Structures are given as C-alpha cells and as structure tokens.
Amino acid sequence: MPLMDISKHIDPFIDANVSTKIFTIPNVISFIRLCLIPIAFTLLLKGEDLASGIIFGVAAATDFLDGQIARRTNTVTRLGQMLDPAVDRFLMIFGVIGLLIVGRLPLWIVLFVFIRDILLLAGGAFLKLSVNRRVPVVYPGKVATTFLFIGFCALIVNVPVCQGLGIVSASWLPGFSYGPYGWGIWFVYIGLVIALCTTVYYLKEGAYQFFDAKGKLPAGDQ
C-alpha cells in the first residue's frame, strides 16, 4: 500500500480477523522489497545509476503485490499490515535522501516530504487516540505516491539529462531554472502538487472528524 495510506500507519490492527502468521508469501515479498532498499541506496552512492534505478523501480513497482496477494488469498497478517507501509516509508526516505546526496533533488522537496509525513502521521495518531476515529484514505494519495516513485526512479537513472527552461534563475527549481536537470523532476512536481492537495483534505477532514466526535460542530454542518 502506498505512501498516503495513513490508516495502516495509525491503526494497523483495525481488522480483527487478521492472522498472526509470520512466514506468508506477502510477508516474504515485503521483506525482499525491504532488502532491496539498502542495495539500491549503496549502488546510487557508488555511481551505479542504472543498477540502482532498476532495483528501486522493482521495489516500487511491486508495492501492490504483497497487499493484493494477501487480500486475495486471505493471508492478511498483523506483521504484513505493519511491514508493508514501513517498506514504503523507507523507500520514500531512500529516494529523497539518496537523490539529495547526489545533488539531483533540492532540499526543499526533501523537507516537504518529511514534514508532510510527520504532520499526517502525528495528526492521524492524535485523532485515533483522542476520539477513536480516522480519515479514510483517498485515491489521489496513491496517485501522488506513484508519481513520486516514477520521478525518483527516473532521477536515479539520470538519463537523459535535459536543459532547463530558464524561466527562473533559482537553482532550487530544477527544470524551470537554467542548467541541466533530470526529466523525472516533472513527475516529482506533479506528485508534490497532488500530495499537497491530499494533505489539505486530510487535515480538513481530520478536523471535521475531531469536532464532530466532540459535538462541537455547528448544527448546519452535522
């Protein structure tokens, strides 16, 4: 399940019928994906862009496999409900930090991703603990994650390198500024815009759920 699936981070035991088994096919897939992350990270730092990009792409593209197999074969486990989103988190962290280190991603994008995740996770935890409610996951959140992963993968491979549009002189806006940039940055920008919109939705819906549970909403809003 993708990055924006907040329910799995906040309430991993929402299904009382989940299994406590450890060695299941979905869990093995999740574990393999987890092992691929440090390999891709190391290859990127060593300058092996193509190999790193392929491994990152495999880890990202197989994101849906473990969850789909678990649901279709009735092998949903508690470990899987925690491991699957954790792998997505680590994959996202690798993407932004690795690309920042090699100079292909500006710092503000890294901060945006981290602050957004912390904000949503903290907000979701507060909502769950205070009023025992959660905000349902919305599909655009998954779309945002898909665009970000495609963009990161393209920036890791770093081929082809294009010339900036020169619209602005700010170097922290690759693609819009002068100088070379990886074409994957456009996918990242699209993902960030969608992620920003979903963040506004989650915060607004979270506030509604909180005040509704507390009985503090105006009569016309209930």
The structure tokens 């994959």 sit at 91
**pLDDT tens digits, residue range 132-178?**
888 887 889 889 989 999 999 999 999 999 999 999 999 999 999 99
Share of the chain above pLDDT 70, in %: 84
Query: Is 6 in contact with 125 (CB distance < 8 Å)?
Result: no
pTM of the entire predicted model: 0.82
Query: What average pLDDT does this structure show over 187-215?
Result: 93
**pLDDT tens digits, residue range 21-56?**
777 787 788 889 999 999 999 999 999 999 999 999
**pLDDT tens digits, residue range 63-78?**
777 667 767 777 677 7
For 130-190, the DSSP string reads HHS--PPP-HHHHHHHHHHHHHHHHHHHT-SEEE---S---TTSTTTSSSEEETTHHHHHH
